[in-house]
Amino acid sequence: MTRTPVTYAFDAPLWLWEARQGEGWTFVSLPEEVADEVLELAAPVARGFGSVRVEVTVGATTWHTSLFPSKDAGTYVLPVKKAVRRAEGLEVGRSASIELRLRDV
């Protein structure tokens, strides 16, 4: 039996984490409807701090990371590392087209 990957596609603006502004930690917030479904599907396989392992594609760049629940944002947040931002010409405040796949569901 083969599982069909659980994938999502959405656009979201990049934002800088205020607590680490000087370090350039950059994230996107998942749309509420996506976050609700991720929570429902991934709760049984969530890892430390409620993180969920994902594969992400932005443009021609694909990488593995985790989503993290954020009480402040009221959703999951997705870190976007500097190498991806450079490779894809992404800037804080601008939207990125995100494709993500849940890895453990």
Is the model's pTM score more than 0.85?
yes
- pLDDT tens digit sequence for 84-95: 999 999 999 999
Helices (H), 1-105: 32-42, 82-88
What's the pLDDT at 17?
81
